[in-house]
Amino acid sequence: MGTNKVTLKYLLCVLVLMLPAGLLAQAEFVEYNNPVYNFLERMDASHVIDKFNSFERPTTRKQVALYLQEVELNRGSLSDADKKIFDDLKSEFEFELTGTINNSQSLFGNSGYNFLSQKEKYLFNFIEKDKFNLFINGVADFQAIHINDRENSSSSGASFLKYGGQMRGTIINRIGFSIKGTNGKVWGDRTAALNINDIKFAYKYNVDPTVHTGGDFVDNTEGYLSADLDIARFKLGRDRKMIGYGPVPVILGDNFPNFDYLQFDFNYKFFSFSYLHGKLNGIITAYTDSVQGSIKNSEDKFLGYHRFGFNISKDFSFGLGEMIIYSGRSIEFTYLNPFNYYKSAEHANQDRDNSLLFFDFQNNTFAGLKINGTVLIDDIDFGKVGKGWFGNQLLYNLTLYSSNLYRFAPVEFYLQYIRCEPYVYTHRIHNNGYTTFNYNLVNPILPNSDKFILRINYNPYYRLKFSLDVNFSRHGANELNDDGTVKTNYGGDVLVGHREFDKTEVYFLEGEREYYRSISFYINYEPVNNYYFILNLVYENNSLANSIRQKYVNGFITLSFRI
């Protein structure tokens, strides 16, 4: 055996020996939109569990199981509705909690598979304690959308069938993996279909169907490899990461395609540390070659993020963090280093990049009530504060969450306010803006705007959830020329940073005033375990620049199956 192979063998042996023994540890991650996060948020607010990190999602199945074990110890303090929701979650996370799969069934491997059973459903599962476990699911979604344009008295609609599968598992209680792939077919109006995120972010669907055949098909994939070393975790993957408090996170949202990233996080008692380095996509250019045809190029672009968190007490925590956006070169080792002060390092790198800092806090002194907030500094000159200088780019986010009425009526409230100063998330170098494929990494937040969000959740039945969202936003838009180019820049477009000839003084909400208003009603019903019926009705009434009015009534129906 060669020297390199021997060295690799010993390194692997040392790694395995270093892995601490765990109790039914599952290193896979729970998808960011799983209902368990809302449940744990409520449990944390109600003082049933401690130190739930609602700032970042997703987290590992092992960590979710630890929270659920804590809930079990305080089960007597739960409302009747939450006891039933909790029992459902114990079934979903049965293996992580008990090491058994008695409340599960497998289509291939178990006789008497019942599609209408209330048990957890899998195509196939296999477990061998402390060595290897594997879970395979088939997934299918059918979505239909209808858009009624009240201003122009027109209607359009589309439907979308998505199908595929997911395979996940854990090796020796520490190494986790997951891969998920889906394909889909779209029918109906293309513009209407683009209101569905899976379609909006699909490359093949968005190119000219006369150039690429199969333009009505949509595919997507995500997956990762992870390692859980108890207090430290590593992940290399492609999926979605949500960062920030409230219904609308201000660090990373879900309005852009899945991206690839390397993640490391550490959590021990009062201290936590999170880091990721991800690949984004910059400006895309295209040209045609007489031999090779159309050729596209995208300039390399990367995102770095880290945050130091401190749990001062069970009722108060705060964090300090940074992001860095850089482009035009390969991976920068300065930002690949998790423990580096990016703002200062960016200066040392000749001020070529876009650095952002933030401070966040959370207070939960009173049971059932959470207050959290974030201050994001894109750029600042303290000597010019209050003078309208364009470079003072600040964002403020304050969120209040209440579940005080839940023991009497299963209702919870979110109230969020976001104020985003001019030019926040933009950059003078276009490719260093806080975007990928020209999508804002946070949505629906516009520079030079503020936003009010009220969300009310009501659970009349443990598998039935009603939600009402009321949104109101004001925006100072840029003044445009007839050809759509920017005439006067007020810092209102994430794709247009401050230019050399733009004025240096601009005030909050200055520019072409726009108003966005929406009311959304949402129903999520799970009649059979892993089968969902979702109805979403949205009314929008927008007053935009140049006296443009928009009035829409949109209806979305989703049928989702997991077997």
Question: For the chain (length 563 residues), average pLDDT per consecutive 10?
Answer: 43 39 70 96 95 94 95 93 94 94 88 89 92 96 96 95 97 95 94 91 76 73 95 96 96 94 95 97 84 83 97 94 94 94 92 96 96 95 84 96 91 97 95 93 92 96 96 97 94 95 95 97 96 98 95 97 94
| Alpha-carbon gap, residue 323 to 118, rounded angstroms | 44
Query: Which residues, other chains included, contact 3 with Cβ-Cβ below 8 Å and sequence gap of 6+?
Result: none
| Residues 199 and 193 sit within 8 Å (Cβ to Cβ) | yes
Separation of alpha carbons 332 and 355, rounded Å: 14
In the prediction, which pLDDT does 360 show?
98
pTM (predicted TM-score): 0.92
Question: Quick one: pLDDT at residue 13?
Answer: 41
Query: What pLDDT was estimated at residue 3?
Result: 43
Q: pLDDT at position 212, please?
A: 53
Strands 104-106, 120-122: pairing kind: parallel
pLDDT for res 214: 57
Residue 202's pLDDT is: 87
Which CATH number does the domain 16-562 belong to among 2.40.160.130, 3.40.50.1970, 3.50.50.60, 3.40.50.150? 2.40.160.130
25 vs 23: CA distance, rounded Å: 5
pLDDT on residue 238: 96
What DSSP element (H or E) covers 178? strand 175-188
What pLDDT does residue 64 have?
96
CA distance 357 to 322: 4
- The domains of the chain are located at 16-562
- Identify the pLDDT of residue 16: 38
How, if at all, do strands 271-289 and 154-171 pair?
unpaired
What is the predicted pLDDT for the residue at 21? 39
C-alpha 449/C-alpha 424 separation (Å) is 10
Q: Which two tokens stand for residue 112?
A: 């008497």
Q: Are 49 and 78 in contact (CB under 8 A)?
A: no
User: How high is the pLDDT of residue 140?
Assistant: 97
